[in-house]
């Protein structure tokens, strides 16, 4: 529909005006034979307006002008497009010519390259043949040198093996001599040390025994001074006591290991030990002989 309006704007305007007039007549209900009588009605009456012909003509002229302007624009666009297509065709022809020239140049270069490649291939073939011949000669020369080198190396290896065997034999003999000498030296040193250790142990034993006897005398003397014998006991009795000391001579415990058969006698001996606390004892390693020892209580009797 819009395309029809654009092509015939005047006819479209006239058709619109005719439809408006017909609708107006139908609504108003004009009777040309009788005088119009006023009709009382609650329906609102549509008032038709008279169309101004000048405005219609102006609108039609405006539409024509717009149509003419549009046709001018379309024509301008068409001419512009024709010009663009002509330029594009010209460029395409130029590009086609350029591609044709490039193809000719490429083919010429390709033919030249093939010719050069063929020449290079022939030269390379000759070079390889010469290199192969030279390599074979070099290989033969190296094989002869290698054969000679291996023979000399084998001879040298045999001589070196013999020399090393002799050296190894001498080394083993020297090592065995040194081993025996070292073993003898160690044996003599061990024997000497054993003799020295035995002598030292003997001397230490004698010293400890002497020291032990001295402290036993001191302990016995102190116990005698602190022993209060029961006066009611006249017979010769004996009691064996086990004494445990701490470093410094403190009495840790006293046990009767063999009683005398007389309780008063045994208790007096036990009390004497506790009363004599601390007992005189040596320090250091000599104390171990008095850490736990037995002592016999017996009065002098005939």
Task: Give average pLDDT by consecutive 10-residue segment, the chain, 302 residues.
Answer: 63 75 63 52 54 85 92 92 92 91 89 87 87 89 91 90 93 94 92 85 73 91 90 78 94 93 92 94 88 87 58
Distance from C-alpha of 174 to C-alpha of 171, rounded to nearest angstrom: 5
Buried b (16+ CB within 10 A) or exposed e, 173-208: eeeeeeeeeeeeeeeeeeeeeeeeeeeeeeeeeeee
Domain ranges of the chain: 2-30+46-103, 227-297
In 122-276, which ranges are E strands?
239-246, 250-258
**Which H/E stretch holds residue 93?**
helix 53-226
Which residues are 241's β-sheet partners? 256, 295
Query: Which listed CATH number (3.90.550.10, 3.30.70.1560, 3.30.1150.10, 3.40.35.10) goes with 227-297?
Result: 3.30.1150.10
Distance from C-alpha of 291 to C-alpha of 245, rounded to nearest angstrom: 5
Distance from C-alpha of 157 to C-alpha of 145, rounded to nearest angstrom: 18
Distance from C-alpha of 79 to C-alpha of 85, rounded to nearest angstrom: 10
Buried b (16+ CB within 10 A) or exposed e, 224-257: eeebeeeeeeeeebebbbebebeeebebeebebe
Q: Looking at residue 220, what is its pLDDT?
A: 93
Helix axes 263-275, 53-226, angle to 10 degrees: 120
Distance from C-alpha of 171 to C-alpha of 176, rounded to nearest angstrom: 8
- Cβ atoms of 219 and 279 within 8 Å: the answer is yes
Distance from C-alpha of 39 to C-alpha of 7, rounded to nearest angstrom: 45
3-state secondary structure of 238: coil
Q: Looking at residue 28, what is its pLDDT?
A: 55
Rounded to two decimals, the pTM is 0.35
């Amino acid at each position: 529909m819009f395309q029809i309006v654009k092509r015939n704007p005047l006819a479209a305007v006239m058709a619109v005006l005719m439809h408006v007039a017909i609708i107006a007549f139908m609504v108003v209900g004009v009777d040309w034979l009788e005088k119009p009588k006023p009709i009382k009605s609650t329906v609102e009456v549509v008032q038709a307006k008279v169309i101004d012909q000048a405005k219609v003509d102006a609108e039609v002229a405006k539409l024509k002008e717009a149509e003419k302007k549009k046709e001018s624009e379309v024509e301008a666009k068409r001419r512009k497009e024709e010009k663009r297509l002509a330029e594009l065709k010209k460029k395409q022809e130029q590009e086609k010519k350029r591609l044709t020239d490039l193809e000719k140049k490429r083919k010429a270069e390709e033919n030249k390259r093939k010719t050069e490649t063929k020449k290079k291939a022939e030269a390379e073939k000759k070079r390889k043949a010469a290199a192969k011949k030279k390599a074979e000669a070099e290989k033969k020369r190296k094989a002869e040198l290698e054969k000679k080198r291996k023979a000399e190396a084998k001879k040298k290896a045999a001589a070196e093996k013999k020399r090393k065997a002799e050296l190894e034999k001498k080394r083993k003999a020297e090592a065995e001599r040194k081993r025996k000498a070292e073993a003898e030296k160690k044996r003599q040193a061990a024997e000497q040390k054993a003799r020295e250790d035995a002598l030292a142990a003997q001397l230490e034993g004698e010293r400890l025994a002497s020291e032990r006897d001295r402290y036993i005398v001191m302990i016995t003397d102190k116990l005698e001074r602190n022993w209060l014998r029961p006066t009611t006991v006249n017979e010769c009795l004996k009691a064996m006591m086990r004494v445990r000391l701490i470093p410094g001579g403190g009495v840790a415990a006293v046990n009767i290991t063999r009683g005398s058969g007389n309780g008063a006698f045994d208790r007096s001996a036990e009390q004497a030990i506790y009363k004599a606390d601390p007992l005189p004892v040596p320090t250091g390693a000599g104390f171990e002989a008095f850490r736990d020892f037995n002592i016999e209580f017996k009065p002098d009797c005939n």
